[in-house]
Structure 1
């Protein structure tokens, strides 16, 4: 007859912990958890994209803003926003177009368009920002740079003789300043431009 062996004191074998199904992840639970996290991540990305598409950043310019020419000429210029009362503010934004390939509604507008890169694309249809009595340097070549100058300057070759708000009609100018007049349909404005001595 054998006597059972009793382990010495302090060497009692540990009892394995009981399996608690409430705190353990089964393979199915783990799979559902991973899928839920992925749905949240991709759902968040999709929501961000939709919000960006439906709410694009505010345009850099809007009708009524004034700009100065940083470089270039009337149809190929780089511009930046300035206060309309500043001497450098040669142009006022008449029309803002979301499509840079869309044409301005009249050749009287100068234009600037932003394309390429990560920036928002647009076109600005620009009206001359001048008051009666202002003098201008208007180049004889259309691609040149026009600007406001002092009437006593040797560069001055044209003078604003009249600005008519709410009217887009060349015949509103006197015959001497009608030929070079700028007639803008939106907003309606006629800028009569004659010789410096007018």
Structure 2
């Protein structure tokens, strides 16, 4: 009986700690000369460009989970799974491409930017639900889960 009470108390403490210290669900992108790094940020922060779309379990300790169809960025999860990240943007947001060179290869990703001369694209629409088309002159980014289409045009 005492063991059950101890387990219940420990479970309650862990649940309270998890509520007070949630895993990061939004990320900002930062570029350095040789890498682009993601750092956890508050989802309300202006530079929060990516959000966790879903968590995929790892089939074993050596194989990361695989994100579904779509241009997801990936972050490791402390549980051993994989966090599938999608753009966290609204219509009117501007984006720029951050590029880094590492071992002779270029790595690039989109990052939120103040709309200005460095901006390369502007979000014209974010549509949730079945895959949606964008205007012919726009670039479409489609995520399968949650079903989302992001339309990008000129800034």
> Given the two structures, how large is their TM-score scaled by the length of structure 2?
0.68
1:109 aligns with 2:68: no
RMSD value over aligned CA atoms?
3.0
In structure 1, the gaps of 5 or more residues are 1-43
1:192 aligns with 2:155: no
In structure 2, the gaps of 5 or more residues are 101-105
Report the Cα offset of residue 181 of structure 1. Answer: 1.9
1:88 aligns with 2:47: yes
| C-alpha separation in 2, matches of 1:81 and 1:121 | 21
Match of 1:147 among 84, 107, 111: 111
1:166 aligns with 2:129: yes
User: Closer, same or farther in 2 for the Cα pair 1:139/1:88, shift >3 Å?
Assistant: closer
1:176 aligns with 2:140: no
Q: Identify the structure with the greater helix proportion.
A: 1
Report the Cα offset of residue 111 of structure 1. Answer: 1.4
Residues paired across the two proteins, number: 129
Match of 2:27 among 64, 67, 73: 67
Report the Cα offset of residue 139 of structure 1. Answer: 4.3
Q: Runs (4+) of structure 1 moved beyond 6 Å?
A: none
Whether the 8 Å contact between 1:113 and 1:124 is mirrored in structure 2 is yes
| C-alpha separation in 1, matches of 2:145 and 2:54 | 7
Which structure has the greater CA radius of gyration? 1
Q: Quote the residue 2:103 is aligned against.
A: none
> Given the two structures, how large is their TM-score scaled by the length of structure 1?
0.54
